[in-house]
Amino acid sequence: MSDALFAVPAEPVEVSPGAVHVPGWLSTETQRRLVELCREWSRGPAGMRRHRMPRGGMMSVRMVSLGWHWEPYRYSRTLPDGEPVAPFPSLLGELARAGVADAYGAPLASGTPDYDVALVNYYDADAKMGMHQDREEQADVPVVSLNLGDACVFRFGNTENRSRPYTDVELRGGDLFVFGGPSRMAYHGVPRILPGTADPDVGLAKGRLNITIRASGLE
């Protein structure tokens, strides 16, 4: 991985044990490239869509899954209409491993299951995501989040319930956030987007993209 992929990031900030925010981790060039790739992935086949929640409401966030299809609340090999899931791009696996190494100051142990799934989330100005755990994975591998476009308030909570204590972190375009170890099962969500805060050079005129990269632990 060449150095040009990364900006000179700020120091990692530990939000809680195992949960680390690295502001400004992605270079402008890499952000631009990822925005272009997100556009390609969104077009499909098996492109971006809103999912229905078990109680019937629609999620406000639009999503596309790569590697495995996720919708509330399980992974599958194919979409509900039988379309195959788009492949997991190796670039995202490389970025995830590099992100863990920079956030924690040490690479993942050898033998750690590979990253094999990414969810690309698109938030328009009004979209939000309620407090939840990422618990459909069968492997205890840190979740890596890459952020593009508008900033948001990212609420990072505890492992017991959706309420306090939690920390509100402003995640901006280019930021990395990793949560693993004792924070792997922490509740988290996005209470709001901060419209108009994106760097215009990145090429996302409106909204926020979040790429969350995970190891499913599934065969």
Ligand X SMILES: O=C(O)CCC(=O)C(=O)O
Q: Give whichever of 6 and 122 is closer to Fe ion, judged by the CB atom.
A: 122
- Residue 151 interacting with ligand X (CB under 6 A): no
Q: Which does 154 bind (CB under 5 to 8 A by kind): Fe ion, ligand X, none?
A: ligand X
Taking CB under 6 A as the criterion, the residue among 6, 41, 88, 154 binding ligand X is 154
Taking CB under 6 A as the criterion, the residue among 16, 31, 210, 216 binding ligand X is 210
CB of 154 to Fe ion, least distance (A): 10
CB of 208 to ligand X, least distance (A): 7
Taking CB under 6 A as the criterion, the residue among 19, 46, 86, 119 binding ligand X is 119
Task: Return binding residues for Fe cation.
Answer: 132, 134, 188
Task: Return binding residues.
Answer: 132, 134, 188
- Which positions from 106 through 165 interact with Fe ion, judged by CB under 5 A? 134
Q: What is the 3-state secondary structure (H, E, C) of the chain?
A: CCHHHECCCCCCEEEECCEEEECCCECHHHHHHHHHHHHHHHHCCCCCECCECCCCCECCCEEEEECCEEECCEEECECCCCCECECCCHHHHHHHHHHHHHHHCCCCCCCCCCCCEEEEEEECCCCCEEEECCCCCCCCCCEEEEEEECEEEEEECCCCCCCCCCEEEEECCCCEEEECHHHCCCCEEEEEEECCCCCHHHCCCCCEEEEEEECCCCC
Number of residues that bind ligand X (CB under 6 A): 10
**Binding-site ranges for ligand X (CB under 6 A):** 119, 121, 129, 134, 145, 154, 188, 190, 210, 212
